[in-house]
Each structure stands twice: as structure tokens, then as C-alpha cells.
Amino acid sequence: MNPCDQTIHELQDLLARGEISAVELTRSYLERIDALDPTVGAYLTLARESALEQAAEADRRRSAGDAPSLCGIPLAIKDVLCTKGLRTTCGSRILENFIPPYDATVIEKLKTAGAVILGKVSMDEFAMGSSNENCAFGTPRNPWSLEHVCGGSSGGSGAAVAAGLCAGSLGSDTGGSIRQPASYCGVVGLKPTYGRVSRYGLVAYASSLDQVGPLTRDVTDCAILLQAISGFDPRDSTSIDRPTPDYRAALGQGGAGLTVGVPREYFGDGLDPEVERAVRQGIDALAAAGARIVDISLPHSAYGVAAYYIIAPAEASSNLSRFDGVRYGLRDLEADSLIDMFQRTRAQGFGPEVKRRIIIGAFALSSGYYDAYYKKASQVRTLIVEDFRRAFAECDVIAAPVTPTPAWRLGERLHDPLSMYLSDILTIPANLAGLPGMSLPCGFSSAGLPIGLQLMANHFAEETLLRAAFAVEQELALERRTPPL
């Protein structure tokens, strides 16, 4: 079997038994990337040399008896996380040549755990998008069907994991950007609780919503990567200081004793019947694993998108003001006044979706409109938070679809921003409430496109989330398919 089709936990065993070295494994991935990535388009920057050096170092550490959890495991990183000495573009012209002088905390943690960084993978510009078509450097394809989107904004991560172009990946999720591409690409993705994982070195989009999390081939791998990146970081003032549990230990506890809430609002009009069927099978699997299934209501769910598209652009308009051509990135060198330089640099550096959101945000925060838009959206956010608080008094886990439909065709929603925004309707509420959420495969459409089951749990209940996800994975026992590449 090709090692590139193995899970992280299987590779850990192969490496531990000496059946493969980290250098051999890394070479296998580089060969696979050379062969398939011209078709998939997941990578923006390949770190060939440093990956092989890190692999050689991993082999040395292992032979010296020091093999940490990810020793020699090749990973791909969404291009929104700063990697020291390795170009970090955020999918934007404005950062096309940016070489970070430091590693994000999560990257430091992966390196300490012995991981090999294969390269940086594609994303919608500044993580704004749901199809990865907003990347300034090309659009990755869905490995299951090259005419379909891979999802976004962590589309490169989803595509790379699905196509076996890395053993696992880190993405970021502000309104569904880990869970949605995980669903469209048939992999596992987890957005942790707000504050669980450090965001130091994550290029900020909407700071009250952003979280870093793993995309992997199975639930066990997801627990392994989450373990490696979780924990308090004094360099991130929103990081929460509480101990990290042993996530892998939570996996085998089964479904008995869990109450799973099924929110009726997530199964309304516009839900594709094939998605509904697969998601219901996932919920049946939880019941078969011993969980009690209850009907719940999250009455304000339908308002999530409207609240999000004020709050996120408002925060983005502030966060993205740092891209001004002064200290790094693109600059219009012709401008002869400072203000002109700012305005022209940003006009040339940002793509259409980023401009759209910056302007929505600046407008919503502007004098005379603040109360009508930003304050109103923040109040509706409270109603959504309260919905979940009531729901988690009745259940431990919420099970729902990730998206109303499977992946759509490339270009289909590109010129209709609102229809693109509405595809995030089922993932946004977890971000607004800061809750952990997950997507895991629960079936395929008749066209052969993957469908994901979304699970959500209470703040810092990632153990419960992973336990339920593992129970579904075991119970469904989906045949291990590889994309037809």
C-alpha cells in the first residue's frame, strides 16, 4: 500500500517499527505531489528542501530514542499561518512575497512534536470565501470531482488531505472554513473552542471568531493533531489557561450515556435530500452506538448568516488595515503621498471579495450606521449564544448537516456573493457562540461527492465531540475510498 494513503496513526506505527523512515515517507509525498498536484492545485509553496531536512532530523531523533508524537509525519499548512523563513501569502497579492520572521505558536508546537512541514496550501484570500475560488494564485479542484469546488476557505487543506498529498493539515475556521471543505472533500475537520488553540501567528480575519484546527483522514488523526496544537499561550490574549485533556483516550468510550440533540431548524427548506439521508444515517449510527437522540430547537439559527456578515467584515475592516505597504508586502512605489500609497497599494493588493468585505465592514462601523448594523448584529449574536446554552442543558452533542448541499460546480456561485455566503448557514452559528464543531464523512451523493456530518459540543467539550465522532466512524465503517485521480 502507498504510505501516502495511510492515516497518521498508521504511519506512526510504520515509523516506530522502522518499516519506513521519515525521509522515505517525505520523498513519497513529494513524488505524489509532483505527480498529482498539477491537477489538484492544493499547494501554493512547496518546502522540498526544508521538509527533507526536517525528515532527516526526525529520523535522527528517533534513532536517538527521542520520538515525539508527530516524529516524521508530513503535514501541509494553510497559508494563513506564519512559518519562519517559508513564504506565507494568505492567498493574496498583497503578501505574495512575504517571508515571516517567526513561526506561529501552532507551527512551533508541530515542529517540537517532530512534524515535517511539506509546504503551504491554498486558501481563499485572507480566509474569505467558501469555495477557494478567491485565491489570487489559482483555485484547487475537488479531488473527488475536478469540476467541483473543494470548499473554503481551507480548501487547499481539504484537497491535500483527500488526495493524499499530506498526512494531515492545519486550517482555520471563522464561519465554517475547516468544516465545510472537510465535508466537501470527505475528510475530518475540527474547529476547536474559541481559546483552545493559540492564534499567535495566525493572520487575523475576524478576531472574535477565528480558530485554528486540524483536517485529517480520520477521527483518531484529528485527536492526535488537536493534542499537538492545543494549550494556553501567553502570546495570545484570547487563549484560555486550562489543561489539555488526553483526546485520544476519549475516543473509545462509545455512544452510551450521550444525549444527541438534532436541531429541527437545520433540516429545513433548501436541504438537499441526499445530504439529509446521509446525515440521518450518521445520526442513526450514534443511536446504534448507544446514544439517546432528542429533538431540539435552535430558534435563531436562520439569523446567523446576517449577523456574521456584519460582525466578520467589521472586524476584518479593522484587522486588514495593517496591510498598508509600509512594513511588508506589496507597495505602490509610484504614489507620492502617504494616503495615496495606502489607497493604491490596497487597491492593487486585495481581490474583489476582500474589498467587498472591507467596505461592508467600514460601512457598518461608520458614523450613523453603527447601531443599525454592528450593535444589532452583536445583539442577535447573544440570542444565538442563548439558543445553544438552552440546547446544551438538554444534550451533550448536537448533530446536523455541515452544508445544505454537496460541493457545487466551479464558477457556479462566483458572481453571486450572497448565494456563496448562504452556503455557510449551518456552520456560522458555532463560530458566533465560540463552540467546538466538527465535520466527518457520513456518505456520498449519487454523483460521488462526499457528504459530511456536523457535530457540535459545549465549550471545551472536544473530548465529547471526538468520542461521538469516533462512535459514528466505527458504526458507519465507510469503505475506505480514494479519489479517482
Partner 1 sequence: MKISPAEVRHAARLARLELDEEEVASLTPQLDQILAYIDKLNELDTTDTPPTTHALEVVNAFREDEVRPSIDRQIALANAPRTDGEAFVVPRVI
User: Is residue 331 close enough to count as binding partner 1 by CB under 8 A?
Assistant: yes
What is 216-260 written as a DSSP string? ESSHHHHHHHHHHHBS--TT-TT----PPP-TGGGGGG-STT-EE
Residue 421: CB partners within 8 Å, gap ≥ 6? 130, 305, 309
Interacting positions 422-441 with partner 1 (CB under 8 A): 432-435
User: Is residue 93 close enough to count as binding partner 1 by CB under 8 A?
Assistant: no
Which of these is catalytic: 131, 177, 317, 423?
177
Of 216 and 230, CB closest to partner 1: 230
Interacting positions 203-232 with partner 1 (CB under 8 A): 208
In the complex, minimum distance from the CB of residue 83 to partner 1, in angstroms, rounded to a whole number? 14
User: Is residue 326 close enough to count as binding partner 1 by CB under 8 A?
Assistant: yes
Q: CB count, 10 Å around CB of 287?
A: 13
Is 63 annotated as catalytic?
A: no
User: Is residue 382 close enough to count as binding partner 1 by CB under 8 A?
Assistant: yes
Three-state helix/strand/coil letters over 68-112: CCCCCCEEEEECCECECCECCCCCCHHHCCCCCCCCCHHHHHHHH
User: Is residue 325 close enough to count as binding partner 1 by CB under 8 A?
Assistant: yes
Give, in order, the Cα–Cα distances in Å from 453 to each of 38, 84, 152, 182, 432. Answer: 30, 35, 17, 10, 19
User: Is residue 324 close enough to count as binding partner 1 by CB under 8 A?
Assistant: yes
Q: Which of 441, 375, 417 is nearest to 134 (CA)?
A: 417
Is 69 annotated as catalytic?
A: no
Which of these is catalytic: 122, 130, 153, 239?
153
Binding partner 1 by CB under 8 A: which of 337, 477, 479, 484? 337
Beta-carbon-side half-sphere exposure of residue 128 (alpha carbons within 13 Å): 26
In the complex, minimum distance from the CB of residue 269 to partner 1, in angstroms, rounded to a whole number? 15
Binding partner 1 by CB under 8 A: which of 240, 288, 293, 414? 240
What track of x and - describes contact with partner 1 for positions 102 through 121 (by CB under 8 A)? x-------------------
Report the alpha-carbon distance of residue 378 to residue 360 in Å, rounded: 15
Of 146 and 365, CB closest to partner 1: 365
Per-residue burial over 414-443, b if 16 or more Cβ lie within 10 Å, else e, is beebeebbebbbbbbbbbbbbbbbbbbbbb
Site stretch for partner 1 (CB under 8 A), options 8-16, 166-174, 333-341, 402-410? 333-341
Contact 134, 123 (CB under 8 A): no
In the complex, minimum distance from the CB of residue 75 to partner 1, in angstroms, rounded to a whole number? 25
Which of these is catalytic: 21, 78, 191, 439?
78
Site stretch for partner 1 (CB under 8 A), options 123-131, 189-197, 221-229, 470-478? 189-197
User: Is residue 358 close enough to count as binding partner 1 by CB under 8 A?
Assistant: yes
DSSP summary character for residue 291: P
User: Is residue 344 close enough to count as binding partner 1 by CB under 8 A?
Assistant: yes
In the complex, minimum distance from the CB of residue 44 to partner 1, in angstroms, rounded to a whole number? 17
Contact 152, 410 (CB under 8 A): no
User: Is residue 48 close enough to count as binding partner 1 by CB under 8 A?
Assistant: no
Is 230 annotated as catalytic?
A: no
Helix, strand, coil share (%) of the chain residues, nearest 5: 45, 15, 40
Of 380 and 449, CB closest to partner 1: 380
Give, in order, the Cα–Cα distances in Å from 239 to each of 198, 310, 374. Answer: 6, 24, 25
- State the catalytic residues: 78, 153, 177
